[in-house]
Structure 1
Amino acid sequence: MDRPQFQTLLRNLKQGDTLFITKLDRFARSKLEGTKIIKDLFEDKGPPLGLVW
């Protein structure tokens, strides 16, 4: 995934943060990529991370 600003955002999220997603096509380029991002977030940051669609 070559999206440096998005990667910086994901790296800087902390447990307890909420990520507001207003456009799914800006969050992930495919369903597979979106699933991987969410899985990685929950494995790295833990369940208290909130995602709002």
Structure 2
Amino acid sequence: MPTSQRAVHDLSLYTAEPGSSHEERLRFLASWSAPGPRSTSTTSAPDRSADRGGK
């Protein structure tokens, strides 16, 4: 069902007390996340001129 133009969204954030067992558990769960995108500043893109029919 589409949302109305007056839809309200809530965002909840949870943190743990530094040094607590809860912080340790959150760090463990965070370790399961997918890695972020790699930076392209240190690598160059492959040459695709042959793919485009270039010389």
Do they fold alike, i.e. is TM over 0.5?
Answer: no
Greater RCO (Cα-Cα under 8 Å, separation 6 or more)? 1
Higher helix share: 1
TM-score (norm 2): 0.31
TM-score (norm 1): 0.32
* Higher Cα radius of gyration: 2
